[in-house]
Structure 1
Amino acid sequence: MKLLILGATGPTGRHVVDLALRSGDSVTAFVRNPAALGDLADRVAPVTGDATSTRDVSAAAVGQDAVISALGAGTSLRANGLFTRASAAVIGATAEAGVSRLVWLSSFGVGHTFDWSSGRQKLIYRTLLRSLYADKVIADERIRSSGLDWTVVYPTRLTHGPARGAFRADDRLPMKGNPTISRADVAAFMHQAAHGGEWIHRSPVITD
């Protein structure tokens, strides 16, 4: 399968790239800084660009079977329009390139999943993460209205632990406390979703 991976050098995207290569996929890694690919540079097709630019993403999307977006805001608590602008760019680019499959990484607590979070989580989402999550709400809804074969993934709090392979995923997954899931497991789920049709037009919550 030919995959375009956005955020390929990020903490989750790197796991997606590694999985895709181990599975024999042809990987195009969309990055801002190709030097960040390190030892992967000779194993992927690197494309340098801006994920909020339709032109840049469209050029990379030509000939791909699917797009996986693992874009993140890093340590910033403000999105500065990253996800709204990137979603618009990806939707426009996939239309131009003739790619219909998109797997998009969001966050638990965004949009409809807010209602399933704990009281402590809701306080954090309404204060510390308010700007970031407001931007993601717009992006996610835009993707769901795009006409693409989308999957929007809502992981609980991300960790850097190893893959366990025993995660839970469902359209509705109410929970208590502050559950977590490793980025490696999220990457595995996204990679699997891109290869099948089970999660098309669905918004799964995923957690350990």
Structure 2
Amino acid sequence: MTKLIVFGASGGTGQRLVEQALEKEYEVTAFVRQASSFPAPHPRLRLVVGDVRNPQDVSAACAEQDAVLSALGPSAKSEPICEDGTRAILAGMQAHGVKRLVALSAYGAAESHHGLYSWVTWAMLKTKMQDKERMETLIRDSLTDWTLVRPPALTNGAHTGTYQTGLDVPISLASNISRADVADFMLREAQACRFLRETPTITGRRRPGTPP
């Protein structure tokens, strides 16, 4: 696998996905709303400017890709975009025979909607969480080789490479993880497929003796 496309590439996690993928010598397509999101050119970076809700824009960008990484999420002033964007992404993947999808969701979606952390998150971010759940439903029902990554609160902390992942990772109100470490895991998972058609949680608060 050498060619990756990143949707939501101008967001906090998306930018880190692009940076780390280039460091790992992937050929990267960054799908952005505005070209100014990545002013610095790179020989292995291709910018595609478009609307992720537009099936034609998305389908053209998916051509000849080995895997799709989605870090879609609304900006502070934008409407929810995960459901509509994912619908276009899945159609584009099907049109071009792209199978591997690693998508950023959120802890508290679907069956992880339990416990104090989830209750607080839904109370504060109900519209965002509903959008993530609808996105998850579309992906689960697709024919892609998907992985849905569920972090708790995201920070702008350092890329440590030290985190805990799994299907039953405990999450508390104090749990958080850096966007850089989420990007690290998403890139590794795109290649390794450890959690194929599963929904791993990831947190920076690793229990002693547990491998990342």
Q: TM-score, normalised by structure 1?
A: 0.92
Q: How many pairs were matched up?
A: 203
Are 1:31 and 2:27 an aligned pair? no
Equivalent position SS for 1:155: coil
Equivalent position SS for 2:31: strand
Partner of 1:52: 53
Report 1:2-81 matches (<5 A): 2-40=3-41, 43-76=44-77, 80-81=79-80
Are 1:92 and 2:88 an aligned pair? no
Q: CA deviation at 1:112?
A: 1.3
Are 1:125 and 2:124 an aligned pair? no
Distance 1:39 1:103 in 2: 26
| Equivalent residue letter for 1:178 | A
| Equivalent residue letter for 1:98 | G
Are 1:179 and 2:183 an aligned pair? no
Distance 2:100 2:41 in 1: 24
The Cα offsets for residues 79-137 of structure 1, whole Å up to 9 and x where unpaired, read as 7341110111111110001101101001111111122x32xx34433322111111110
- Contact 2:107–2:118 (CA under 8 A) maintained in structure 1: no
Structure 1 188/33 Cα, relative in aligned 2: closer, same or farther at 3 Å?
A: same
Distance 1:176 1:12 in 2: 22
Structure 1 41/34 Cα, relative in aligned 2: closer, same or farther at 3 Å?
A: farther
Report 1:132-171 matches (<5 A): 132-171=128-167
Distance 1:178 1:13 in 2: 24
Distance 2:130 2:87 in 1: 15
Distance 1:168 1:106 in 2: 16
Q: CA deviation at 1:4?
A: 0.5
- Contact 1:103–1:150 (CA under 8 A) maintained in structure 2: yes
Distance 1:105 1:60 in 2: 19
Unpaired runs of at least 5, structure 1: none
Q: CA deviation at 1:199?
A: 1.8
Q: CA deviation at 1:41?
A: 5.6
User: Root-mean-square deviation (CA), in Å?
Assistant: 1.5
The Cα offsets for residues 117-159 of structure 1, whole Å up to 9 and x where unpaired, read as 32xx344333221111111101101101101000000011000
| Equivalent residue letter for 1:108 | Y
Match for residue 207 of structure 1 among 191, 203, 210: 203
Distance 1:126 1:190 in 2: 24
- Contact 1:68–1:103 (CA under 8 A) maintained in structure 2: yes
